[in-house]
Structure 1
Amino acid sequence: MCEDDHGIGRRALFVTSAAAALTLGTVSFSHGPAAEAADNQETRTVRGTLPAGSPDFVYLPVDVPRGVREIKVAYTYDKPSVPAGTQGNALDIGLFDERGTGLGGKGFRGWSGGARSEFFVRADDATPGYLPGPLRPGTWHIALGPYTVAPQGLTYEITVTLTYGEQGVTPAPVYPPSRAKGRGRAWYRGDCHMHSWYSDGRRTPAEIAALARAAGLDFINSSEHNTHSSHAHWADQAGDDLLILLGEEVTTRNGHVLALGTDPGTFIDWRYRARDNRWARFAGEIHRAGGLVVPAHPHATCVGCGWKFGFAQADAVEVWNGPFTPDDEATLAEWDNTLVASVREGHGRWLPAIGNSDAHRDPDAIGSPQTVVLADDLTRGAIQEGIRAGRAYVAESRNVSLAFAAAGGRGGHAGIGERLRVDRDTPVTVRLDVQGAPRCTVRFVTDQGVLFTSDPLPVSGSGTVEWHTTPAYAAYVRAELRHEAAAGPVPGAMAAFTNPIFLGGA
């Protein structure tokens, strides 16, 4: 074993092409089988300290010689006590191969964030979160992401072990099909945000698929943090009854975004901030890969979770994430403001809403909440089109079902995400049919705010609520289903909400 110190102040440090990244001095190994250790392995250990205010990414180059069959990396770092309200140490880790660390390049070989203390990569296998494939000679890079650094600094130790020998055969990836059996044009239930053990979740794909079926879901979307390594591990879980879309949760330091339903094997880079002016490029990559751009939990309070890139490239927004909390309430209000703006500006473009579980481990419930989409069939394209068009509502579980429509004029009718084209003074009847929501209250929300609140539904959970308006009074109307409030004027927790129906524009 050989040891070295790699502090951030050493002379070998230099700035890479990305302003928020730094590269340390190279870790060298022997060059050829003659220098191999008796156990066919070589190990190097490096130590260093990152000060508070470190760059977003620090790269440790590793000179990989010929004849290597496995790279294994283990790391530790200190976690000193810090005053209340001060961030402690958290250090993420990943790997790039000899093709380099260029933004959006082909060198990406995996990312585990802070979920694992060690990982390996071989041609025939890899730790979840990492990609198996050939181990070619050249300069590889261990990527360190100092997520937060304590005032005392972050002291780390990294151990790299190379095992020599003949490489195995890289398995050909098999991906789930892009369609399931379906029921033709129908309402399909899905959860587009969840995590398996291929990032920081604790469930296998098989466990997630079983829970999705138990939750009454028709489709799910793979959304691991900053890696597409799970894509080739879902095929066995798909079936006529469950469509599995492939994607990624692109986890930047200025917010998270779902790449929803991208082409199999698509990797979207995350190493930039809003001020870097690179987001439009990667949103375009998501679209070119056939995916939807969906900012996730825009008002979440975790470090780096608040969405700061704007919504110009978004196809939808995740308004409800996991158990309904005050940050979901804030996102709901901001989303409603975007609907008002779209009416005021008159361009016709508006931002649909979805909801997902963001489930990681027990007791997180897959499918709570779930997005219910009106789609022409149970296919990747049809589900994406339904979400993009806003033909969707969000429910806390399979138990809640809604039918929401507006009627007026000479037989005019519009459903969720559609427009009822009648004159501004034409009487309009808005109707919501509810099942599975005992003692919940219905609210009809418009561009003028909440204009109607019903009495609580019966204990049976079923009921019909109607309201009469005109396009002059309400440019759009959407429905909320709320649980009983604990006290006072604050609305209760969400049971379900719809995307809007627009009124007028005859």
Structure 2
Amino acid sequence: MKKHLRLLLFLQLTVLFVSAQDSSKVVRKGFIPKDKLFELLYVPFDVPAGTTEIRVKERYDKMKVNVLNMGIYDANGYQDAAGFRGWSGGAKKEFFIAEASASTGYIAGNINAGTWNILVYPSTIAPEGLSWTLEITLVPGKQQKIVEGKPAAVQLNTIAGWYRGDLHMHTLHSDGRRTTDELVAEAKAKKLDYIISTEHNTNAANLNWGRYDSKDLLIINGEEVTSTRYGHWNAIGLDAKTVVDWRYKPEDGIIGKYVGRVHQDGGLAIINHPFYDKGDKTFKFDEKEFDGIEIWNGEWNVLNALALKWWDESLRKGVKKIAIGASDTHIASGSPNNLGRPQTVVFAKGLSKNAILEGIKKGRVYIAAGDSVSLQLTVNSAGKTYGIGDQLPKNTAADVHLTVKGCKNTVLMVIGDKGLISSHQLADDVQTIDMKVKPGSSSYIRVEVRKADQTMVALTNPVWL
């Protein structure tokens, strides 16, 4: 709080009455020096009774270098999520909130009288510092009808099977460049069974996914909890109204509180692209608190290989984290991050939020480069059949059966806690492999399928022996 107050010393305030009967404008200006990078600055302004719309415009210098992120909290305060009314990060330079509508990323509803706060957060500052201006227009008017949101359906069927989906994506509600209409249309065209909405630091999209309810595409709520300085993580399986806060540091020691909030909704917490920047590990929070790791983000590359190595080393130490893959898509095409590439394929008891999350939590998951790739891994032991994510009885022989489709001219590798167990050339589009694993030779087996250039085609979570 002291840091926030120190930053307020750079603040100037001007109030302009644009039209006595229509609106008033509040202009706030300030300067952020280079040494205040990543500091949170709350810019307060008073909203009089009778206001039905708030419009905010942001300007700052050296916009090709500086980045100033932006969000807003209403009169309920900014100390927790109670007053949260939206976040656009650095994706927008202006937004509005009205009683019946709002800019993407922001939440329409009652414009309560009192002190509101705009949160500005510099994630890049030029050596000369950053000068900024906020223009806030307060518009009075006749009270509008509050429009209730329409969250997505939570269950489409109860048919057990393998379901294909994408766990990481963005639209105009954060820094994506497509509408929710366009995203849903593309997901259906690619025949995905489910998608998980993960906008940066906002639940605005989650409030209205029910507009797209259908019998063949399940939409699950989520949020990419985003701290530029400390890393990103996905909260998946949230209730529509849940917002998971991001405003804390690793040294605060409270990440467990926010992961616990996700679990309270029945959701899971997934570490995103942990080697996002130049090959350095950019995720700084305590990974022990998290359920899984996004080891495959978009096209396979060296950063994904580093994430895979980190996950594999954890497995060998007996740390069970679920591996998932996702596109992190922002645009419809022309990017290494295209929707549904890769896909997280989950064995679930049905196409529902709870069933998909249960399947992921139990590790009944493999990752495929696309919809033409499929992989079946089963293990027979002591008269029973086990699959990906299952635990066999200790010290029993394991008869492994693999069926792979869509992986012609690749190499399949069976991997254990001591490294490579066996490798197999896949010459045909459909191929089966049978092998035995001796009791006690490994605590798990998992499978990777790669092209000759080491590009990943598919990989599984472990079967635990």
TM-based fold match above 0.5: yes
CA contact (8 A) 2:26 2:45 kept: no
CA distance in 1, matches of 2:303, 2:118: 35
CA contact (8 A) 1:440 1:461 kept: no
Q: 1:25 to 1:136 in 2, by over 3 A?
A: farther
Residue 225 (structure 1) aligns with: 200
Q: 1:398 aligns with which of 366, 371, 395?
A: 371
Residue 251 (structure 1) aligns with: 226
Q: 1:234 to 1:225 in 2, by over 3 A?
A: same
Over the matched positions of the two proteins, sequence identity in percent amounts to 36
Residue 27 (structure 2) aligns with: 45
Q: How big is the shift at 1:430?
A: 2.2
Q: Alpha carbon RMSD of aligned pairs, Å?
A: 2.3
Which letter does structure 1 place at the counterpart of 2:406? Answer: G
Q: How big is the shift at 1:341?
A: 1.3
Q: How big is the shift at 1:268?
A: 0.7
Residue 10 (structure 1) aligns with: none
CA deviation vs aligned residue, 1:273-302 (integer Å, no higher than 9, x gap): 111212111111111122111111111117
TM-score normalized by the length of structure 2: 0.93
Residue 241 (structure 1) aligns with: 216
CA distance in 2, matches of 1:175, 1:113: 24
Q: 2:437 aligns with which of 441, 461, 469?
A: 469
CA deviation vs aligned residue, 1:106-128 (integer Å, no higher than 9, x gap): 11111000111100011111100
Residue 189 (structure 2) aligns with: 214
TM-score normalized by the length of structure 1: 0.86
Q: 2:254 aligns with which of 265, 278, 300?
A: 278
- Report how many aligned residue pairs link the two structures: 460
Range that drifts further, 21-30 or 141-150: 21-30
CA distance in 2, matches of 1:171, 1:401: 43
CA distance in 1, matches of 2:437, 2:294: 29
Range that drifts further, 302-311 or 321-330: 302-311
Q: Does 1:338 align with 2:322?
A: no
The structure with more radius of gyration: 1
CA contact (8 A) 1:26 1:62 kept: no
Matched ranges for 1:354-393 at <5 A:
354-363=324-333, 364-393=337-366
CA contact (8 A) 2:294 2:325 kept: yes
Structure 1's unaligned 5+ residue stretches are: 1-12, 82-87, 343-348, 486-491
Q: Does 1:96 align with 2:96?
A: no
Q: Does 1:482 align with 2:450?
A: yes
CA deviation vs aligned residue, 1:209-256 (integer Å, no higher than 9, x gap): 121122221111111000000112211212111111111111023111
Which letter does structure 2 place at the counterpart of 1:159? Answer: E
Q: Does 1:497 align with 2:435?
A: no
Residue 134 (structure 2) aligns with: 158
Q: How big is the shift at 1:431?
A: 2.4
CA distance in 2, matches of 1:306, 1:160: 35
CA deviation vs aligned residue, 1:134-158 (integer Å, no higher than 9, x gap): 1122111111010121211112122
Q: 1:471 to 1:22 in 2, by over 3 A?
A: farther
Q: 1:80 to 1:390 in 2, by over 3 A?
A: closer
CA contact (8 A) 1:429 1:469 kept: yes
Q: Does 1:316 align with 2:292?
A: yes
Residue 197 (structure 1) aligns with: 172
Q: How big is the shift at 1:481?
A: 0.8
CA distance in 2, matches of 1:181, 1:67: 46
Task: Name the SS of the counterpart of 2:138 in structure 1.
Answer: strand
Which letter does structure 2 place at the counterpart of 1:61? Answer: P
Q: How big is the shift at 1:303?
A: 11
CA distance in 2, matches of 1:223, 1:305: 22
Q: 1:452 to 1:465 in 2, by over 3 A?
A: same
Q: How big is the shift at 1:23?
A: 7.6
Matched ranges for 1:69-80 at <5 A:
69-79=52-62
Q: How big is the shift at 1:478?
A: 0.3
Q: 1:448 to 1:273 in 2, by over 3 A?
A: same
